[in-house]
Structure 1
């Protein structure tokens, strides 16, 4: 009863337009007060939720992405990707997706991907005659790769909430991320080949151009490789890899002569804003998780599902529907803070691998960044490109089919997720 009261308060304040963190805090406070407990326990619960070592990696990966954006490094990566896949049908749209793959292996968030490639990718596509609706739609869809391909802030949050290895989660996200990228590229090819969008004829592949672009961007391209090796070999924790990545990014910006104190300060300001928001949400989320545990909400839902079905795939489908619905109204971190404590006992009861569940949850909540009414990537693209919001939404809708196909593929074929982490880091 108390948990229901808490969620009613939370939903009411969200509908009134309150920030999700404030709505969660008020809901948790009301629930504790209503239950007769002393609210003095709230600070200790918030502090405990924010003190998880895994969460230390989050500000470093956000800072890393901001440095790459402000240091002019993203442009070099884009030029290299253009030399690599610019000859394909769909040309710059394909380049946009591949650039997002590379940038996702550095930034770890959808917003950083959308902001970093919003101006660069869309501007390049418009200059070649691509429709603004299609250009922004491609960029929004491609930005969803950010939280899936390692390193991933979303997976770090899941790891901290579920006590799951961040390294294994990172490795688990690689193949699903590449599958999503392949699905988007196939959709682009189909749309251009069938004339659904007007795509200019691509340039012929030039090995000389690729070699030149590789030389020009080699230090930038080494960053995701080093991050992957650090986590994949287990020689460093996610936090240590994040720190080393930041140092390396600053080093690269100095080599490319794009480093400035102003850019560094701007990157720090953006990092503090983003990271503090996530950390506060995590702290408040721990209070909500405590209330739900005290009220035995996870056990009640688990027992209901056990009585309803014995198939873990039916349960996974139900979980997907819930996460996708919540993604229309809440950001990914908030959804995880509310849902992961509920999903953990369900996963245990139905034999769902936690690594598999983590990637499924990450992909499902990330899709919410591209769905109205509160899809943050839609607003980011509209802001940085000047394209009307309704055009951005319309362009993004054309990519929902391949996105959902990739989601279902990852959900119902667990080895896609678990094979690589088991191979590299052990079962």
Structure 2
């Protein structure tokens, strides 16, 4: 499936001075995973988060931010419930000393709401995480000296954990919240793998469909198994196994020998090396009626996103664009909270963390065909940071003062069309704040 690259707020070359700094090593975090000791709703769980950072974190003021999905309760934990390891081979070669704020030798840990910031020591010579280091973060009773845990959301489902910061790399992963089973001695019997997103069927004919899904990056990945049934709520017990893929990068399957003009339901299971599994979302589609009863139209057109030249300062932003008539829009595999104000328009409020936020957008028509994928990056800056360089300083103040009582959007932090007292107070509140 072809991917279309698109970047919002990087449209006019003359405006490049106001864009986020481009780190030549910046990339997506590799092999992201989070092993949880408990997956049941409203219960405490340990987390062991692992990833590889292409850029590394090696300067005072740089930080790694982890944002847990709404519903996770981090209010009980402190830096004492967390371990930070890193190294070139296993990720456990070096353990950093943590404290509530960064010192010359210690990493600072700031826990606020649903996020955790890991802040580099104030001495550049200490605490560096090198490019391509493996990083391991333990949170909870599994941490050395840990006595408190993060509380799981009260509702079951797939929850997102996002990774960002001002050092260049970013990423997201999904974890499953569901009723788990614990033995009477309170020992966890195993940790299931992270689930994936199963995309809607495409390339539908009278006897076949094409299925694809997002990639699992767990360290102990073993295989994918795709099951189907003629009724909904398909599982690996009541469904028919049609594909087993043993490479984590092998994320598609052609299902053939289906009956024509019949609806089929699919679910994708991920297995780890302990033979534990997690199920994806369920998707369905109907095969085509034989004899030319249905003639498929061409593949739906790729949706668009309206350009925005100005930076975004809000944590919630209304993204909107055009779509082909009679199609629905998917954002990162979900149709939740997407509105259709007209036959050819769509919009949705998206949540943004500081820095670059990747989104994958596509359209699906009434025949189950999906468009090419639109890949966009939405950048969010901190209030007061007019040039998005990671700090609020005299450059930002000079820009605000020069454009006082104008509509200069780089200092219009509340997006009300004028640079005024509100924007000045926002800049002052974050003055010289490196975030």
Q: TM-score, normalised by structure 2?
A: 0.23
Structure with more of its chain in helix, by fraction: 1
Q: TM-score, normalised by structure 1?
A: 0.23
Question: Which gives a bigger RCO, structure 1 or 2 (Cα 8 Å, sep 6+)?
Answer: 1
